Structure 1
Amino acid sequence: MPYFFKGNFMRATLLTRRFICALALYCMTITFAAAAEAPLEIKAVVVTMFEIGEDAGDEPGEFQMWKAREALNTRYAFPQGFHDIYVNKETGILAMVTGMGTARASAAIMALGLDPRFDLSHAYWLVAGIAGVDPQDGTIGSAVWADYLIDGDLAHQIDAREIPADWSTGYFPLFFTEPADQSASGQPANAKNGEMYVLNASLVNWAVSLTKDTALHNNKAMDELRARYKGYPNALGKPQVMRGAQMAAATFWHGKLLNDWANEWTAYWTNNKGNFVTSGMEDTGSYQAMLYLDKAGKADKDRFMVLRTASNFTMQPPGLSAAQNLAMESSSTGYAAMQPALEAAYLVGSKVVHNIIEHWDTYKTQLPGEK
Structure 2
Amino acid sequence: MGSNIRLSVLYAFVFLLTLASVARSFVVPNGILKHRSDKYGAEYKAKEFHAMKQRRHAPGRSDGSSDVIKPKVMIVAMFYLESYAFLNNYKPSLYGINITVPGLSPRFPQVYCTATGEVCHVTTTEAEINAAASMSALVYSRLFDLTETYFLIGGIAGINPNYGTTGTVTFARFAVQLMLQYEIDTRQLPVGGGFSSGFFTQGTKEFKNDLYPATIYGTEVFELNEALRKRAFLAARGAKLSDTEEAAKYRRLYPMAAARSPPGVTLCDTGTSDTWWSGSVLAESFGNLTTLLTNGTGEYCTTQQEDNASLAVLVRAAAAGLVDFARVIVLRTGSDFDRAPPGVDELYHLLQAPQGGFEGALANVYNAGVKVVDDIIDKWGEVYRVGVKPTNYIGDILNTLGSPYGYKPDIGVASQFVVPV
- Taking the aligned partners of 2:129 and 2:260, their CA distance within structure 1 comes to 35
Is 1:112 matched up with 2:138? yes
Residue 338 of structure 1: CA displacement?
1.1
What corresponds to 1:299 in structure 2?
A: 323
Is 1:72 matched up with 2:98? no
Identify which range, 169-178 or 357-366, moves more after superposition.
357-366
Greater gyration radius: 1
- Taking the aligned partners of 1:191 and 1:238, their CA distance within structure 2 comes to 39
- Taking the aligned partners of 2:180 and 2:132, their CA distance within structure 1 comes to 15
Equivalent of residue 191 in structure 2, options 165, 182, 185: 165
Is 1:122 matched up with 2:148? yes
What corresponds to 2:258 in structure 1?
A: 234
| RMSD (Å), alpha carbons | 2.8
Is 1:209 matched up with 2:231? no
User: Is the CA contact 2:204–2:214 (under 8 Å) kept in the aligned structure 1?
Assistant: no
Is 1:146 matched up with 2:175? no
What corresponds to 2:120 in structure 1?
A: 94
- Taking the aligned partners of 1:81 and 1:259, their CA distance within structure 2 comes to 33
Aligned pairs for 1:36-75 within 5 A: 37-51=66-80, 61-70=81-90, 71-73=93-95, 74-75=97-98
What corresponds to 2:281 in structure 1?
A: 257
Name the count of aligned residue pairs. Answer: 332
- Taking the aligned partners of 1:128 and 1:246, their CA distance within structure 2 comes to 12
AA aligned to 1:360 is W
What corresponds to 2:204 in structure 1?
A: 176
Percent identity over paired residues: 26
User: Is the CA contact 1:189–1:269 (under 8 Å) kept in the aligned structure 2?
Assistant: no
Residue 170 of structure 1: CA displacement?
2.4
Residue 364 of structure 1: CA displacement?
5.1
Residue 246 of structure 1: CA displacement?
0.2
User: Is the CA contact 2:225–2:390 (under 8 Å) kept in the aligned structure 1?
Assistant: no
What secondary structure does 1:150 align onto? strand
Residue 78 of structure 1: CA displacement?
2.8
Indicate how the Cα distance of structure 1 residues 32 and 179 shifts in structure 2: closer, same or farther if over 3 A, else same.
Answer: closer
Residue 326 of structure 1: CA displacement?
1.1
Q: List alignment gaps of at least 5 residues for structure 2.
A: 1-12, 32-64, 392-421
What corresponds to 1:342 in structure 2?
A: 362
- Taking the aligned partners of 1:370 and 1:137, their CA distance within structure 2 comes to 25
AA aligned to 1:78 is V
User: Is the CA contact 1:213–1:241 (under 8 Å) kept in the aligned structure 2?
Assistant: no
TM-score of the superposition, structure 1-length normalised? Answer: 0.82
Is 1:103 matched up with 2:126? no
Equivalent of residue 381 in structure 2, options 320, 341, 361: 361
RCO higher in structure (CA 8 A, sep ≥6): 1
TM-score of the superposition, structure 2-length normalised? Answer: 0.73
After superposition, the C-alpha distances for 1:147-172 in whole angstroms (9 at most, x for unaligned) are: 11010121111121222112123211
